[in-house]
Structure 1
Amino acid sequence: MKNSDKVRRLALWGIPLSLGVMGLKLVAWWVTGSVALLSDGLESSVNVVAAIVAFVAVSYAAKPADKTHPFGHHKAEYLSAVLEGVLIVVAALLIVLAALPAVLAPEPMNAPVLGLAINFAAGVINAVWAYVLIRAGRRYRSPALAADGQHILSDVVTSVGVLVGLVLAIATGFPVLDPLLAVLVALNILYQGWKVIAHSVDGLMDHAVEPDEAEAIKAAIAANGAGSLGVHDLKTRRAGAATFVDFHLVVPAAMSVGEAHEICDRLEDAIGAAQPGVHVAIHVEPETEKAHGERVRVAPPVEAAP
């Protein structure tokens, strides 16, 4: 199964799971009447929308390149992540609107033990699913899955805070702690939403690959560029699961096109081995051209022993 199919299947599974978790949290709120549990349930309702958006995004991003999108549709995942960040912010504002009236007129909870137990079960499901999504997002380089996992992880942190706070409210006999806790939950959600939006916008701006990936690309070029005189103007960018590498290859002015092409093929294979799924563009130029940009020296050819 291709990585894109695995990402799409995980995104699809997120829809029924998010619906189930939201249902559990709303039942916990219905049983207790807790504003904090209502805030937790409202955040989970955003998870449902985000799961649907993520599934649509990864399905679209997996489409092959075409005439109007020659570099593919990879950035659709970043748009999904930006939308998810906006939805997180909306959820936080809804929580504040629900919590403020309860701050002025707090009420004790009904059946708190049952409600907390239901909410705890929902939190455990979320924790396991967040771990799966974050790990898969990193493995398959899927911004949509990674953003969804980070959002659900923030939901888990919220649930833990809510449970601890409500236990304190019950133990101390101060019901006002319930809506105050909901406001704190909203502030945490706002922060998480900002992080998701900032990371996704950075991806839309053609961010370079990570430093360790860049070093692996440079090492592959240096070890497999024998016959050329070096590389300059090396550039990289990431678009969802795809990586793009572009550089100028300097060769002796007298070298034939066929010989230069052999070096290019060797470099493309080596970079592809170091960075699976990479798209390489090489501009061959003679040594008389002036070098610019980042340079990479290549290893000289090994001469056979006499």
Structure 2
Amino acid sequence: MMNAAPIGDAPKPDRKFALAWASFAVSIAAFGLKYAAWVNTGSVALKADALETIINVVAAAAALWAIRVAERPADDNHTYGHYKAEYLSAIVESALVLVTAYAIGKTAVEGFLRPHPETAPWIGVGLNGVATLLNLAWGLTLLRKGRAERSPALIAGGHHVISDVWTGCGLIAGLSLIPLTGWVWLDPALAALVALNVLRVGWEMLRQSVSGLMDEAPDSATLTKLREVIAETATGALEAHDIRIRTVGAITFIEFHLVVPGSMTVGVVHEICDRIEAGLRRAIGRALINIHVEPETKAKHTGILLTSPPVV
């Protein structure tokens, strides 16, 4: 017997799409500020920072596409939905980040070979500081909303924006020292640090996206929580085994075998499954749950042993 749970509450694509549009607008504003900072100073480090911000613009545009595609309902060609589209967006962003790191590194090398003093450094520091504050506010918003919506595209964008904040803080501190110390070499050195930070963030984003595409199981804490929910809500059943869980974007797929007494009626079994499904959805939100019901002769005694008295 296969019992398929409804997916749960209806998604709110308009809210996620609005966040993606706002992210696109913020990334353009930040790029404008950083571009102005570079033009006014000629700083190699600020040029590197502006190059990195171009990726934010492209990534925000990719997130707009991915979120729209991910929220499409299942169809004949995609019977499990389009949720993985957001992982594709995050992978594209990761690849672009790595390309940008190379371009920034090349800029840093050129700065070491042909160092030159900055012009109007304090204007550059001020403009970059405004962009950094803008990114801080928006990055924290994206992370909070992305986790609430369970959106890989929004979370990846939030991590990238926050990495810009750390970069911006380092650049502001370093560039402020150049007019005070006369250490011209600090400019390309800061650009090299920007490249390294971009590489770090890009690799982490790529790793997380590949994990999602490969259906990596949730962390141990989540697995333990779901097993506890099954044990608490399966009153009347004997055992649950072969539990498999994967998360794809905003939805979790759960499959397991439920062992019940052979004398139990189909109606009672259905009530138990409904109770389990409701408990799982309360715990994790949207989910597609498949429960394969088996008689007690199929018990493996290796899964969740349910000690409550059977209901027949």
State the TM-score, normalizing by the size of structure 2: 0.92
Matching residue of 1:257: 266
Say which structure, 1 or 2, has more relative contact order (CA 8 Å, 6+ apart): 2
Cα distance in 2 between the residues matched to 1:287 and 1:37:
68
Matching residue of 2:44: 35
Amino acid at match of 1:254: S
Matching residue of 2:153: 144
State the TM-score, normalizing by the size of structure 1: 0.94
1:229-258 deviation line (CA, Å, top 9, x unaligned): 111111111001100111001011222322
Contact 1:209-1:243 within 8 A present in 2 as well? no
Please report how far the alpha carbon of residue 139 of structure 1 lies from its aligned counterpart in structure 2 after TM superposition. 1.3
Contact 1:225-1:299 within 8 A present in 2 as well? no
Matching residue of 2:303: 295
Cα distance in 2 between the residues matched to 1:96 and 1:219:
50
2:297 aligned counterpart, secondary structure: coil
1:283-302 deviation line (CA, Å, top 9, x unaligned): 0111112527x611225149
1:113-138 deviation line (CA, Å, top 9, x unaligned): 11110111011000111000011111
1:126 to 135, 154, 164: 135
Contact 2:238-2:310 within 8 A present in 1 as well? no
**Hey, which bits of structure 1, 4+ residues long, moved more than 6 A?**
none
Q: Which moved more, 1:95-104 or 1:105-114?
A: 95-104
**Alignment partner of 1:190 is 2:199:** yes
Please report how far the alpha carbon of residue 16 of structure 1 lies from its aligned counterpart in structure 2 after TM superposition. 1.3
1:41-62 deviation line (CA, Å, top 9, x unaligned): 0000110000000111111111
Please report how far the alpha carbon of residue 39 of structure 1 lies from its aligned counterpart in structure 2 after TM superposition. 0.4
1:244 aligned counterpart, secondary structure: strand
Cα distance in 2 between the residues matched to 1:226 and 1:96:
61
Matching residue of 1:46: 55
Unaligned runs of 5+ in 1: none
**Alignment partner of 1:157 is 2:140:** no
**Alignment partner of 1:282 is 2:301:** no
1:246 aligned counterpart, secondary structure: strand
Percent identity of paired positions between Structure 1 and Structure 2: 44
1:288 aligned counterpart, secondary structure: helix
1:71-101 deviation line (CA, Å, top 9, x unaligned): 1111111111111111111111111222222
Contact 1:223-1:299 within 8 A present in 2 as well? no
- Change over 3 Å in CA distance of 1:258–1:2 after alignment to 2: closer
Cα distance in 2 between the residues matched to 1:207 and 1:7:
24
**Alignment partner of 1:83 is 2:92:** yes
Contact 1:222-1:296 within 8 A present in 2 as well? yes
Contact 1:220-1:271 within 8 A present in 2 as well? yes
Contact 1:249-1:282 within 8 A present in 2 as well? yes
Cα distance in 1 between the residues matched to 2:154 and 2:250:
11
- Change over 3 Å in CA distance of 1:273–1:301 after alignment to 2: farther
Q: CA RMSD in A?
A: 1.7
Cα distance in 1 between the residues matched to 2:55 and 2:232:
49
1:3-56 deviation line (CA, Å, top 9, x unaligned): 432222101111111111101100000000001000000000110000000111
Matching residue of 1:220: 229
Unaligned runs of 5+ in 2: 1-9
1:285 aligned counterpart, secondary structure: strand
